[in-house]
Chains A and B, each alone.
Chain A
Amino acid sequence: MEDKTLRKEKNPLKNIIILVIVAFFASLTLWGNAYFINLLTLLFLYLSLAQMWNLLAGYSGLVSLGQQIFVGLGGYCLAIMTEKYHQGLALSLVVAVAVCVAFAFVISFPIFKMRGVYFTIGTWIVAEALMIFFANWSFANYNIGYNIRMGYTFSPNIIYLMAYIIGIGSVALVFFLLRTKTGLALMSMRDNESAAEVRGVKLYGTKLRIFLLTAGYTGLTGAVLYLNMVYLTPDSAFTINWTVSMVFMVIIGGMGTIEGGIIGAVVYVIIQQYLYNFPGISMIILGAAAIAIILFLPKGIMGTLHSRYGWELFSVRRGLQNKGASVTSLKDILMK
């Protein structure tokens, strides 16, 4: 059966657009001004946070309000490894990832027993407990925290490049993950978890893998965030504001889409620049914006664009090859 609609649609224009964007941001290190570089450093790090939370909540149905656990642990690993043990950056980042993945694995046993809103609250409680624990832990300098001096040894351009790699890497990671068999499972779970299970998708194992993956990547992002911010305390490391910003970005951008996290991160970082002028009520403004989006564009900006116009930048659609003969009987198919 020769059928044009079955052919995998190839769109070189999209690839070119993506390449141009990627190259443009890399070139910024050569000509961007300090303010812009700093803004984009934040953008890429928040992009990574958004992609990871989207993978968790948007695809795996794990609506965690405790991702600050891993931002904080990542930051603390960096601080302790460099300040206390005088280790280099690379090893510190490896430790940050390893500690986050290990900690996620340990807490997965109790919190994966909780469903729905209990899981959400459970993750938050773990984060709050960590905040109190670190504030009282002599090993981690109590609530004095750390001044991460290594942060001063890197130029803003180098830190920007790290953020850039992490940000682009997070998009690439989600994109390529979605094209694997696990990705097929994730998309089916996003659309209908109980139906996915009936079709043979192992929910627990898939969720656990995503929980560990996002923990590690969020931890890495957290470490670089603190390399950039330099100063770290338990209150700032484990604050729920980290996850609130992730939720905000993913919801306004559009849950369960790659582009949503990108749009959300851009909008968030821009809004945040203005919110510096309203320190007390910034969270209220963010909350109001999120509620407005939920009311008027429940699928987020990207979800609305996609369902109205079929627009998408990163297509994870699986294409079909053309074949010669058409099928006659089910028996022949099943004999394969």
Chain B
Amino acid sequence: MNEILKVENLSISFGSNHVLCGLNMELYENEVLGIIGPNGAGKTVLLNILSGILKPTAGKIWFMGEDITNRSIVERTRKGFGRTFQVPRSFENMTAYENSLVGAAFGGDCKEKDCLEISSDILDLIGLGRQKQDFARKLGLLDRKRLEIGIALASRPKLLLLDEVAGGLTESELTDVLEIVQNIKAAGISVIWIEHVLQTMVDGTDRVLLLAEGRDIIHGLPQEIMDSKEVEEIYLGTDE
């Protein structure tokens, strides 16, 4: 299997807060990699570094064989990075359809007519078909999370970064999200999926990585990781 993303010795500190300390990881083509870790472990920070919002203090990032460490946010998006935000950042005073259109028109490389069609089709696919003309500010939590995924997908990404899209959802809503991710994988997109809901990680990913103390503590098959003593100590331990 080919690597689509490779992260080497990635470090970032905010003052004396060393959030990532020499993280190494890779993602294979068409793989869904789950990342778990306690609150404040640096999961969102990692996504922000990958999408170019934060600059790492050290380390390198390769995307499809190219060193993109110094590439801008927009360049990365246009090369095929798509992402969602833990706290949805949809465009409040635009309709769901226009939100999706922003993704298609600026992130993707499509002719106008195709952009319009893709934006609309994507919303049908992720279950927002009836809310296309609703303002984003009127959508409920699940629909907002869907829209986040929709905007990202509309840019036709090669790599999708999901930041807690299942948090706060009900059992049946979780099934919807799992189905969407299955669909994304079936379309050949590679995914990094951050989640606290461990069952979705077991059901929805190919591999899980436990991020803590700024590095990769352990990674492997989802069920193995969930059963490991590391997860019990570091992750579940925080709940007790």
- Tell me, in angstroms, the Cα distance from A5 to B132 when the chains sit together: 9
Residues on A with beta carbons closer than 8 Å to the beta carbon of B125: 327, 329-330, 333
The reply to whether A191 and B93 form a contact with Cβ atoms under 8 Å apart is yes
Give the size range of A's interface with the partner. Answer: 35 or more
Residues on A with beta carbons closer than 8 Å to the beta carbon of B91: 187-188, 191-192, 195-196
- B155: interface (CB < 8 Å): yes
- B74: interface (CB < 8 Å): yes
- A136: interface (CB < 8 Å): no
- Tell me, in angstroms, the Cα distance from A333 to B183 when the chains sit together: 11
- A201: interface (CB < 8 Å): yes
Q: Mark A1-38, 1 if CB is under 8 A from B, else 0.
A: 10101100000000000000000000000000000000
- Tell me, in angstroms, the Cα distance from A94 to B176 when the chains sit together: 59
- B151: interface (CB < 8 Å): yes
The reply to whether A194 and B187 form a contact with Cβ atoms under 8 Å apart is no
Given contacts A256-B93, A330-B187, A334-B156, A199 and B124 within 8 Å (CB-CB): no
Given contacts A202-B74, A331-B187, A336-B117, A191 and B133 within 8 Å (CB-CB): no
One of A1, A190, A317, A329 near B183 (C-beta < 8 A) = A329
Q: Mark A313-327, 1 if CB is under 8 A from B, else 0.
A: 000011011010011
The reply to whether A184 and B184 form a contact with Cβ atoms under 8 Å apart is no
Chain B binding surface, main DSSP class: helix
Residues on A with beta carbons closer than 8 Å to the beta carbon of B106: 184-185, 196, 199-202
Q: Mark B71-96, 1 if CB is under 8 A from A, else 0.
A: 00110011000010100011111110
The reply to whether B51 and A323 form a contact with Cβ atoms under 8 Å apart is no
- Tell me, in angstroms, the Cα distance from A326 to B127 when the chains sit together: 12
Kindly list 5 other residue pairs between chains A and B, CB separation below 8 angstroms, not including A197-B74, A317-B133.
A181-B112, A184-B106, A195-B85, A320-B132, A333-B118
19 pairs, A vs B, C-beta closer than 8 Å: A5-B130, A181-B105, A191-B92, A192-B89, A194-B53, A198-B89, A199-B77, A199-B102, A199-B155, A200-B74, A200-B78, A201-B102, A318-B101, A321-B116, A326-B124, A329-B183, A330-B186, A331-B187, A336-B117
Question: Which positions in A face B, CB cutoff 8 Å?
Answer: 1, 3, 5-6, 181, 184-185, 187-188, 190-192, 194-202, 256, 317-318, 320-321, 323, 326-327, 329-331, 333-334, 336
